[in-house]
Amino acid sequence: MINPAHFDLQSLRIFLLVADSGSLTRAAERAHMTLSAISKRIAELEKNIDCELLVRLPRGIELTPAGVGLREHAQRVIDDVNRMAGEMSDFAVGVRGHVRMWANTSAVVQFLPDDIAGYLVDNPGVHIGLEEKLSGEIIDALTRGLADLGVFADNVPAPGIDKRPYRSDNLLLLVPRGHPLEGRTEIGFADTLEYDYVGLNAGSSLLSRLVTAAIAADKTLRIRIQVSSFDGICRMIEAGLGIGVLPRAAVRPEILGTRLSPIALSDPWANRTLWVGRSALAIQPEATRLFEFLSGRQ
């Protein structure tokens, strides 16, 4: 049985540095330590866990399966310690509490900047750590207690999550200037599927919504290119690489009508709801107050 007391933070940090550098020599240079001191730390770790963590190669190192596993755990430990140190420092200068919040791109781009700013006017002593994630990742984080609050799409199952409506948004079709659909004021999604699409990367709730709608129409969504941001979609559409569906408020106003033509979607699912949910493990009163504030923004 391995004794957890045998692990120290400095050795874990050095191991991560070696793993990230891919070389004991480069790790020693970055840590401003001697090569022998780095090697000694790694040898002590290997002795403590009775496993070889890395294989020394002519040009660097390669992690063993045990090393890969330790890297994941060590990174989590160091991240938690860094977060703890940051929170304690904030408390020392008057911060009342921390709220860990994850939100999908639609919420981050459209609504949360103004809503969080409004909340902090009356709650200046609260620190909000906001991370942009996919809706499925947000649900998982809330379930596991990795996030206190989350904002996610309505088409993602959220069993066991205390959730309330947060905001409503409207999806529209964007086409480049000169496209055959330009000039239409409204269209059904099924009637757009003969054209190539620009979409978000796999895992996004918006892409899932479009794929589901295409299947319901017994057609195929032809994704020509995928990007990771709404702005990226707009730029690809401008370049003539396809058409796309985005929330209305996420499109920069200056490009609507000049470089991109917006067309309303007649499908009911084009009007959607974003939910705010809270983790059952979130006990901070600040998280509860922010949850109540956001759930009243409809």
Task: Check residue 95 and give its pLDDT.
Answer: 45
Task: Check residue 245 and give its pLDDT.
Answer: 96
**Do 14 and 135 lie in a common domain?**
no
Chunked in runs of 10, what are the mean pLDDT values of the chain (298 residues)?
66 86 86 86 85 84 86 82 62 62 93 94 87 93 92 92 93 94 95 95 89 95 93 92 92 80 94 92 83 85
How many distinct structural domains can be found in the chain?
3
**Do 73 and 87 lie in a common domain?**
yes
Domain CATH for 38: 1.10.10.10
Task: Report which residue type is found at 10.
Answer: Q
**Do 162 and 180 lie in a common domain?**
no
**Do 128 and 156 lie in a common domain?**
yes
Check: CB of residue 126 under 8 Å from CB of residue 87. no
Decide: pTM greater than 0.75.
no
Where a domain ends, among 28, 61, 91? 91
**Do 186 and 39 lie in a common domain?**
no
Where a domain ends, among 38, 65, 91? 91
**Do 115 and 80 lie in a common domain?**
no
Digit-coded pLDDT (tens) for 143-167: 998 899 999 999 999 998 999 999 9
Task: Look up the domain containing 206 and give its range.
Answer: 170-272
**Do 60 and 137 lie in a common domain?**
no
Q: Radius of gyration of the chain from Cα atoms?
A: 24
Domain CATH for 255: 3.40.190.10
**Do 140 and 285 lie in a common domain?**
yes
**Do 282 and 141 lie in a common domain?**
yes
Task: Check residue 298 and give its pLDDT.
Answer: 67
**Do 10 and 140 lie in a common domain?**
no
**Do 156 and 280 lie in a common domain?**
yes
**Do 206 and 220 lie in a common domain?**
yes
